[in-house]
Structure 1
Amino acid sequence: MIEKILLADSGTGNTEAMMKVLMDIPLIQRAAVTVLHVVPSQVSAETMASKWEEGGRTLATAIQNLNLDPGKVTAVLREGDPKDVVVQVADETDASLIVMGSRGLQGLKAILENSVSQYVFQLASRPMLLVKDDLYTIRPIKRVLVAMDKSDSAKEGLNIALTLLRDIKGGELTLVHSVSSLKAKPFDITSIDANQDPVLVAAAEEARKYGVTCKLAAPEGKAGQRICQLAEDRNIDLLILGSPDRRPTIAKGLPDLDKVLGESLTDYVRVYAPCPVLITRMKG
C-alpha cells in the first residue's frame, strides 16, 4: 500500500507533472506527501544563503503548483549531497514510494556524471518511480505494464499495479513475461488457459480478483528490448518491474555492480522505456 510518498523535486524535469497525474488516482489521494528540495553545500556563506533562499522558493512553488491537501503535505528543505539526502529522508519518513527525476544515463556514465537517481536506485530498498527529464509526455495513468517473473519484487509490482488500477475507469493491465524458450511469437497476445505460462496465469488470476482488465504477452528475445518495445507499441503510461536485491546483507550499503555497469534488466528498462518506470525492491 502506498501511504507515504517522497517527491524529490529539483525544480526541473517532469516530477511535478508526474505527481499531478498520480494525484488523480484515489489510492494516491489518501497518501501523505513529503516534497523534498536539496541545496548542495557551497564554498562561501554568502553563496549558501543565496542558494538556500532560491531552494525555498523552488519548494514553495512546487507545493503551490501541486495543489496538495495542506494537511497531508510536508515541505523539507535540506543542505547536502542530493544523493545522500534523498536516501536519508526516505528512511526518516518511511516512504512507501520515492518519486524522482532521471536523466536516463546508463551504467558507468551515470556514476561518472554523478547521477542522483542512479545512486538512489542502487541503495534504496523502496519502490521508486523514475521520470526521465523532458523525454516524453506525462499522460494520465490508464495503461500499465508489469514485467513478471517469480520474484517477490515482481509480485509487489503486480500488487501496486492492481491497487492503482482498480479505481481507474477504463484502466488496462498488460502482463509480460519475456523468456526466450516460450513459443509465443514476439508481442503475441496469449489467452488465459492452463497451457500458457504459469507466471502469467497466476498473475492474471490475481488481476481478475480485483476486476482489472488484463492482457498477457510472452515476447521472445532479450527481455529489456522486448519489454520496452511492447510499452511503445501499446502506448503504456506506466511500466512497473521488480529489481531483486541480490547483494548479501553485509553489502547492502554498497552499490550493486550489475547496476553500476548497466548489465541488469532494470537498468536497461529505466534508461530506454518510453514512459515513467516504477521499480520495486523488497526491503531486506
Structure 2
Amino acid sequence: MFNKMIVAIDGSDMSAKALEAAVHLAKEQQAELSILHVGREAVVTTSSLTGIVYVPEHFIEEIRGEVKKEGLNILEKAKEQAAENDIQAETIYAQGEPAHEILNTAKEKSASLIVVGSRGISGLKEMMLGSVSHKVSQLSPCPVLIVR
C-alpha cells in the first residue's frame, strides 16, 4: 500500500516517536524510507529603538553552518536507528519553512505516505503560526500519519 514514505524529524521527542512509527511501517510495508530534517533559516528582527539591526554576513553564515551541522547529526542518528531495524533509509537535509519543505520533498519523491510528529520543538511560535503537522495534513497530496 505505501511504497515510498517520508518521515520528518526535528530532534524532538515527538519526532522520535514519528521515526519509530515510520521505521516500523517501512519494514512492514517493505517501503522505501526517506528521513527529512528541515533546518530553519536564520531570522533577523529590527530593534524597537533604532529600527535597524546590523548582523555581519559571516555571523549569519556561521549560524547557518551550525544549524546544518546539528541537522546532519540528527539525520545520522535517525539513519542508524533505521539500520538497527534492517531499514536502509535515505537522509535528506533541507533548509526553509518546514511544512513547505516537507510537501516539496514528498512531491519530488512521489511519496505515498508522510509521517510527522504532532508537535515539534517550536513552542509558542507554533501556536501563533499553526503547526507544521496541521499545514502538512491540509496541503498534502498523499496520506499523512500524525504521531502523538
TM-score (norm 1): 0.41
Match of 1:117 in 2: 133
Residue identity opposite 2:87 in structure 1: D
Alignment partner of 2:61 out of 30, 45, 59: 45
Return the letter of the residue paired with 2:71.
Answer: G
Rounded Cα–Cα distance in structure 2 between residues aligned with 1:88 and 1:20? 21
Give the C-alpha shift of residue 10 in structure 1.
1.4
What residue in structure 1 maps to residue 75 of structure 2? 59
In structure 2, what residue type is equivalent to 1:38?
A: V
Q: CA deviation at 1:96?
A: 0.4
Please tell me the residue identity of whatever aligns with 1:6. I
Displacement of 1:17 in angstroms is 2.1
Displacement of 1:65 in angstroms is: 1.0
Does the 8 Å contact 1:7/1:36 carry over to 2? yes
C-alpha displacement of 1:41: 0.6
Instruction: Please give the residue correspondences for 1:190-209 in structure 2 after superposition, counting only pairs within 5 Å.
Output: none
Please state whether the residue corresponding to 1:47 is helix, strand or coil: helix
- Pairwise CA distance, 1:4: 0.4
Alignment gaps of 5+ in structure 1: 105-109, 133-284
Q: Which residue of 1 aligns with 2:36?
A: 36
Unaligned runs of 5+ in 2: 44-59, 121-125
**Structure 1 contact 19–66 (Cα < 8 Å) conserved:** no
CA RMSD of aligned residues (A): 2.1
- Alpha-carbon spacing, 1:24–1:32, altered in 2? closer, same or farther (3 Å): closer
Match of 1:19 among 17, 22, 25: 22
1:178-197 deviation per Cα after TM superposition (whole angstroms, max 9, x unaligned): xxxxxxxxxxxxxxxxxxxx
Structure-2 residue corresponding to 1:69: 87
Structure 1 or 2: more helix by fraction: 2
TM-score normalised by the chain length of structure 2: 0.75
Report if the CA contact (8 A) 1:38-1:80 is conserved: yes
Percent of residue pairs identical: 30
- The one-letter code of the counterpart of 1:31 is A
Question: 1:87-146 CA deviation, whole Å, 9 max, x = no partner?
Answer: 100100010000110139xxxxx76343100011111121111002xxxxxxxxxxxxxx
Letter matched to residue 82 of structure 2: L
- Sort the Cα spacing of 1:77 and 1:7 in 2 relative to 1 into closer, same or farther, 3 A: same
The 5-angstrom pairing of residues 168-179 of structure 1 reads: none
CA displacement 1:181-216 (0-9 Å, x = unmatched): xxxxxxxxxxxxxxxxxxxxxxxxxxxxxxxxxxxx
State whether residues 5 and 33 of structure 1, in contact with CA within 8 Å, keep that contact through their aligned partners in structure 2. Answer: yes
Change (3 A) 1:20 1:91: closer
Compare 2-11 and 49-58 and name the one that shifted more.
2-11
1:39–1:55 CA contact under 8 A, matched in 2: yes
Alignment partner of 2:101 out of 69, 82, 85: 85
Bigger radius of gyration among the two? 1
Counterpart position of 1:131: 147
Give the secondary-structure state (helix, strand or coil) at the position aligned to 1:76.
strand
> In the alignment, residue 139 of structure 2 is paired with which amino acid?
L
